[in-house]
Structure 1
């Protein structure tokens, strides 16, 4: 651990020797208040920073990761009208992979898996010493690719036609799996020319690209000249099984699409979803920390350090209160996000949630006066930094390891669970919600848990998602919600927190695509749509915990009437009312489309009692 946090910064044996002298001197001082440092080779004693001070240091990378020094920034922008889904013509082509031998390799980043497992890290990673595009001679007909920046993950680009490129994504570091997220840069393009990109090594057998989802394009010139940001683009979009594959044991899939760049010789980026980097989060946290008004009720601290030494931040939000007893009597809410680094839509929902909660509206004030919010906005900073889709640098899915005893291997989820356990000894936690993204379903929905025996508790666990659907009827699908405790998901945050005693424990899943509901039917989600779901969670929490349960009673009665006539799954008459509405619809084995990533890390081979009565009576009425 010390090596990962310290020695990774050394560039020579001389630096290693200096670090060793610093550690020896710090140990001999016998105090935690003074630190020994070196200034131009001279000894220097410095005070350790107070624990309340949070430093926002630039990201740490595995030492073998090549990183360019370019600062990548994108403007925030909302399209004036909803962007429609792509409508397949049925004539889309399915290119057959060509490969290195027949194509022209124009980009090939050094493999970041030179090591079989994570060893140590440093700020900035390994500085890129050469451009991968130097593999070919400059030409007006060849695109210049790059992805050696934060969250980028293109591994190889092969020119297989004048305007046709075959792309390979890098697998999650220290694994051979989880290729779905993509984010890379392109230069030296021609406007008005139709290019085809085909990603040939995707691993999910189904995708929203088969339901009309389009990739994202960002043009720096469009941003500078017209104030336009990320846009959905693409025609001839097809997601299909790769018939020609070298290893029959691995099923690979391709995504192909055609499009045109808006300007000549522009700098453009393409992505699976709106990028949200660790650096952007740090910029957001710096902004709120420097606002004295916000700082009076919001404290940003470091929960722990990741495997690579990146800070995992925790935010505590609550009003100061009139007395200690006032604050102690408040109930708690825990919200987390980005345990899966490629699910960037989770961070946009988180930013919307924080925007609402830290705002000056009366509703935000009511929430801060009545609750203590514990927020972990980015659970897997290492994965975000290196452009992983699902795993941490341990080569494992953190959302299968909340039960772990391996504190040093899975520090982010271990410390999050520990924080919740300590919080529950002090106060009641009324809600836990972990934000995610989903590749196979449209809309926003929740996965919850399913208590056995007490029917009123079973229905209670479904009330919050039901109310969410009322507050965001054109984005949130109650019908897509599932409530199930599966053995394969026992290590997830949702189930672990539920087993700790949090009755209302959920995963909120946001689609990578868009909505199929009401006036937004057939249109993509924007960053504004995703942020609005963070607002909606706050709004629903106000309704859910309001002493006046009118909205809750109304919602239950509406669904009781619906259930008396139509089952929402079969569309046929249903005589068991509310009970059958909930249990027939939600007793399902389906859940999030998580991949199995269990095992050791690679490198170690109470809501209101009246509501419960109401729910119980509802069953009796049926």
Structure 2
């Protein structure tokens, strides 16, 4: 049986340690704070505009790689096996204590769920260089960041510069601001995550790294921020965090709800390499007529195969909230379809703060053709579930939810049916209808339908090869919109959640038997 080279005993666990709502499991030697991180739900009362470049933004070169500055946080985890709650020993860690009340050093931390910060170096009194940790078992994939610091002082301009990013371009050069969360603002004013920062710039810096084939340059993201109160604890993140524990809490609320628990049935699809549970939800209405249920078509939705794309979880939350609601349309959807939903395909990556990979050190969304059940359990079991579902009923739509780091808006990647004249261009109908239902967020012009050779291992293409016409990847920007009334403004969690509603609304339009003329009209527009 073919296997990956990493030793499987790294992820050993006891089968007796599992329960219906288990603690997040970490590699046993990773340090984890003995506290639960919770952020309040918050939607800003006013749209948050993009950052407008002045052309005068600073571009500080990295200095800490030349032993410059003072290391104030450093964390190098070592991995042996998985363990609920992680560990507090066994890693190289540097967190110098404060010398007294006049010490203004920021105290950085990221040893919590989904956190990612490898090192913080103090360059001057209020300036810090930050190094992100690579995805575990890789030497790349630095984009997701989520960390905090305490001992912040009011009315001081702090500069933060992340120095080991690898992408040549970023939405931060097109108006995107980092997200900031103040614990004092949350506790005292009920204000949650907000877009923050000024003097924002993404640029190539002066550090090179070796890929094994050639030398490449690192890129920096720099910004300044100030805070309104002394002694605050502040978080920064690339996108709104949504952790494995957040998902567990959400599913637990459903299970304890006497109405929603009848609509949504939960079961464990499989266990990840670290032993975390991968859930599959089945949502449909109960019926007393078995023959009626037998003829229902299916819709399959998956999310968080890339752990750092947390906006995918917010879209899925909106989808689930609407689907389990009391509206007439929600009830009609449950009467019409059987929904199979996998909320988090890559729980290990979400827990440890990876951007793209699982604990196999591989991108799961390039391994849907795999036969390695032990190395890619969530992918293998997802394909098995879909194959079994196809034996029972037709699948109308398969959609895998993602986030996108270089484009604005929301859009779909589909698969063109070039070689089948009866299906030609039909994969474009659903996206066009979705663009009509969400004109301020969804861009049909950004949709692509080519089946590229380099993407043949993605869920979208592998599932399309099972004969599913509407097989999509749904991409939501990390930033915001360039369309309509939303143009020039960041998306917030409510905007991401609303895409779940629009997706459901489009399903009804697409499958309405009286809507044939609409479909023909849309096809004529495409042609």
- TM-score bracket, normalised by the shorter chain, equals over 0.9
User: What is the CA-CA distance between 1:64 and the residue it aligns to?
Assistant: 2.1
User: What is the CA-CA distance between 1:131 and the residue it aligns to?
Assistant: 7.0
Aligned residue in 1 for 2:509: 543
User: What is the CA-CA distance between 1:328 and the residue it aligns to?
Assistant: 1.3
- Aligned mate of 1:330, from 272, 279, 296: 296
- Indicate if the aligned counterparts of 1:65 and 1:125 stay in contact, CA closer than 8 A: yes
- Aligned mate of 2:184, from 203, 221, 225: 221
- Indicate if the aligned counterparts of 1:178 and 1:390 stay in contact, CA closer than 8 A: yes
Asked if residue 437 in structure 1 is aligned to residue 399 in structure 2, the reply is: no
Cα distance in 1 for partners of 2:10, 2:223 equals 44
Aligned residue in 2 for 1:78: 43
Q: State how 1:249-288 maps to structure 2 within 5 Å.
A: 249-288=215-254
Aligned residue in 2 for 1:134: 96
- Can you list the C-alpha shifts for 1:543-573, whole angstroms capped at 9, x where unaligned? 000011167347517x63xxxxxxxxxxxxx
- Indicate if the aligned counterparts of 2:301 and 2:341 stay in contact, CA closer than 8 A: yes
- Aligned mate of 1:105, from 59, 71, 79: 71
User: What is the CA-CA distance between 1:136 and the residue it aligns to?
Assistant: 6.8
Aligned residue in 1 for 2:3: none
- Can you list the C-alpha shifts for 1:261-290, whole angstroms capped at 9, x where unaligned? 232101110000000000000000000011
- Indicate if the aligned counterparts of 1:337 and 1:376 stay in contact, CA closer than 8 A: yes
Q: State how 1:304-323 maps to structure 2 within 5 Å.
A: 304-323=270-289
- Can you list the C-alpha shifts for 1:429-482, whole angstroms capped at 9, x where unaligned? 010000000000000000000112334512210000000000000000010000
Structure 2 unaligned blocks of 5 or more: 1-7
Aligned residue in 2 for 1:6: 13
- Indicate if the aligned counterparts of 2:62 and 2:163 stay in contact, CA closer than 8 A: yes
- Indicate if the aligned counterparts of 2:207 and 2:217 stay in contact, CA closer than 8 A: no
Aligned residue in 1 for 2:133: 170
Aligned residue in 2 for 1:564: none
- Indicate if the aligned counterparts of 2:9 and 2:81 stay in contact, CA closer than 8 A: no
- Indicate if the aligned counterparts of 1:64 and 1:125 stay in contact, CA closer than 8 A: yes
Aligned residue in 2 for 1:572: none
- Aligned mate of 2:467, from 480, 497, 501: 501
TM-score by length of 2: 0.94
State the superposition RMSD in angstroms: 1.9
Aligned residue in 2 for 1:156: 119
User: What is the CA-CA distance between 1:494 and the residue it aligns to?
Assistant: 0.3
Aligned length: 514
Cα distance in 2 for partners of 1:406, 1:193 equals 53
Cα distance in 2 for partners of 1:551, 1:341 equals 40
User: What is the CA-CA distance between 1:3 and the residue it aligns to?
Assistant: 7.7
Cα distance in 2 for partners of 1:263, 1:473 equals 40
Cα distance in 1 for partners of 2:43, 2:178 equals 16
TM-score by length of 1: 0.80
- Indicate if the aligned counterparts of 2:29 and 2:89 stay in contact, CA closer than 8 A: no
Aligned residue in 1 for 2:366: 400
- Indicate if the aligned counterparts of 1:105 and 1:136 stay in contact, CA closer than 8 A: no
Cα distance in 2 for partners of 1:134, 1:91 equals 35
Q: Secondary structure at the match of 1:531?
A: helix
Aligned residue in 1 for 2:32: 67
Q: Secondary structure at the match of 1:108?
A: strand
Cα distance in 1 for partners of 2:519, 2:251 equals 39
Cα distance in 2 for partners of 1:445, 1:4 equals 36
- Greater relative CO (CA pairs within 8 A, separation 6+): 2
- Indicate if the aligned counterparts of 1:298 and 1:316 stay in contact, CA closer than 8 A: yes
- Indicate if the aligned counterparts of 1:315 and 1:376 stay in contact, CA closer than 8 A: yes
- Indicate if the aligned counterparts of 2:98 and 2:105 stay in contact, CA closer than 8 A: no
Please, which moves more after superposition, 98-107 or 74-83? 98-107
- Aligned mate of 1:345, from 311, 328, 343: 311
Structure 1 unaligned blocks of 5 or more: 8-22, 24-34, 38-48, 561-577, 580-622
Aligned residue in 2 for 1:194: 157
Aligned residue in 1 for 2:498: 532
